[in-house]
Amino acid sequence: MTPEQITLVQSSFERLGPDLPALTALFYQELFQRDPALRPLFTTDMGEQRVKFAQKLAEIIQAIPRLDELLAHTRALGARHVAYGVRATDYQTVGDALYAALAAVLGDEFDAQTREAWILAYNIVAETMLEGAAAARPIGS
């Protein structure tokens, strides 16, 4: 990522402000629509789940400029996701759902440049979560 792209991700996230709950609701809606098989992976209350997601997202976006800090978050997060039964190919679906939710909430502000910046940010998160997942998962599990 370029420094400008990092700024773009952080500023567009800040602009969400009060719309963050709407974003998380839309995100899960988009996700389950894209792949209904992911629904049963979520066993906790969805309200609680949305809050957790919003918190984690905020932490991660905060940490983007400092890779070491980001990795501490994402690797641990990836390792936890192994136990939920998430696979590498699911990460693509998650990303697509996130961009769709952002586009719906941000409207015109989610332009091509912002979208590209988010894709790059999400890729870093996904790759490092998967790294954490790989380290945590024995084959055959």
Residue ranges binding another protein (CB under 8 A): 1-6, 65, 67-68, 87-89, 91, 116, 119-120, 123-124, 127-128, 130-131, 134-135, 137-140
Least distance (Å) between residue 56 CB and another protein:
20
Does residue 104 contact residue 26 with C-beta atoms inside 8 Å? yes
Q: How far apart are CA 133 and CA 130, in angstroms?
A: 5
Helix H or strand E encompassing 123: helix 112-136
Shortest Cβ distance from residue 68 to another protein (Å)? 8
Residue with tokens 């759902």: 97
Closer CB to another protein, residue 31 or residue 70? Answer: 70
Q: In angstroms, how far is CA 34 from the centroid of its own chain?
A: 15
Question: Which is nearer to another protein, 29 or 62 (by Cβ)?
Answer: 62
Radius of gyration of the chain measured on its C-alpha atoms: 15
Q: At 93, which helix (H) or strand (E)?
A: helix 88-106
Q: How near is the Cβ of 106 to another protein at its closest, in Å?
A: 20
**Nearer Cβ to another protein (19/111):** 111
Helices (H), ranges, 43-87 = 46-63, 67-84
At its nearest, how many Å lie between another protein and the CB of residue 15?
Answer: 21
Q: Which is nearer to another protein, 2 or 43 (CB)?
A: 2
